[in-house]
Amino acid sequence: MATARRPGAYVCGIDAAMDVIGGKWKVLILWALNEKTCRFGELRRLLPGVTEKVLASHLREMEADGLVHRRVYDEVPPHVEYSLTALGISLNEALAPLGAWGREHVLGPQDTHHAVR
């Protein structure tokens, strides 16, 4: 179960979920990790514009929420891999219809032919 950051403050399931994915880059992290397990530097390259600090804090929160798994290899140089948990995967699936809506109604029909994303 994901962490409720404002326990008891939610009116319905949607705003509870919104709290979990509220960070500016979180849905993009979710999408990137859904494709493949990534290292920290990989994620940074996949999300153009994100800073290390923000990426790290988002990953910490998502880890605390049980969406992301952080695996540390005891190597030099350091090696850390991030992947989705089962909960993260289920969240991604729940987001799919919203993604389809956004592609169709915000991005517009001209973008739907490369709608792989």
Partner DNA sequence: CGGTATCCAAGCTGATACTG
Partner DNA sequence: CAGTATCAGCTTGGATACCG
When asked if residue 114 is in the footprint of its own copies (CB under 8 A), the reply is no
Nearer to its own copies, 53 or 105 (CB): 105
Nearer to its own copies, 12 or 76 (CB): 12
What does the alpha-carbon distance between residue 79 and residue 104 come to, in Å, rounded to a whole number?
A: 39
Side-chain half-sphere exposure of 68, counting CA atoms within 13 A: 33
When asked if residue 94 is in the footprint of its own copies (CB under 8 A), the reply is yes
Side-chain half-sphere exposure of 10, counting CA atoms within 13 A: 14
92: number of Cβ within 10 Å: 17
When asked if residue 77 is in the footprint of its own copies (CB under 8 A), the reply is no
> Helix %, strand %, coil % for the chain, to 5?
55, 10, 30
Nearer to its own copies, 21 or 59 (CB): 21
Residues making contact with DNA (CB under 7 A): 22-25, 39-42, 49-54, 56-60, 70, 77-81
Residues near its own copies (CB under 8 A) are 1-4, 10-21, 27-28, 31, 87, 90-91, 93-108, 115, 117
